[in-house]
Amino acid sequence: MHCDIYKFPKHNDMYVYIARPGFPDDTDELKDWLGVLPKDFRATLGVSKFVMHLDLDSQSKLARVDKDEVLAKLESQGYYVQMPPQDIMRRQAEMRAKDAQDNKYD
């Protein structure tokens, strides 16, 4: 299974994998690959940035996510969302809270 991976500047360390089952024969015309995402979810993401194309069959494992889980989601819904690890999310929330508190008295 081939997929494209995108990141979104508004969401640190979140990546979206988009299935490309017809690769390389699916590149004859321009296509909105992110169109498989639910409209409401896509609206919250902001501008996308292409990160890389990946052949999952050639990978024995992935760095932060379970390869089988990614494959299952790509096959069932056409995309997979890789969220940041919980410790990173917690630190980001703490930093935002501290910044909000610091800015409250400016």
Structure tokens that stand for 12 in this block? 């640190």
Residue type, 74: L
Q: Check residue 101 and give its pLDDT.
A: 74
Q: Measure Cα distances from 47 to 8, 32, 62 in Å.
A: 6, 13, 25
Residue 62, domain CATH: 3.10.510.20
User: Domain range spanning residue 59?
Assistant: 2-104
Share of the chain above pLDDT 90, in %: 34
Q: Which contiguous run of DSSP H or E holds residue 73?
A: helix 67-77
Q: Which residues on adjacent β-strands are paired with residue 54?
A: 3
Residue 97 has pLDDT above 70, yes or no: yes
pLDDT for position 104: 60
Residue 83, classed as helix, strand or coil, is: coil
Its pTM stands at 0.74
Sheet strand arrangement including 11-19: 49-55, 2-8, 11-19, 79-82
Count the domains in the chain.
Answer: 1
Mean residue pLDDT of the chain comes to 84
Q: Is the pLDDT higher at 81 or at 102?
A: 81
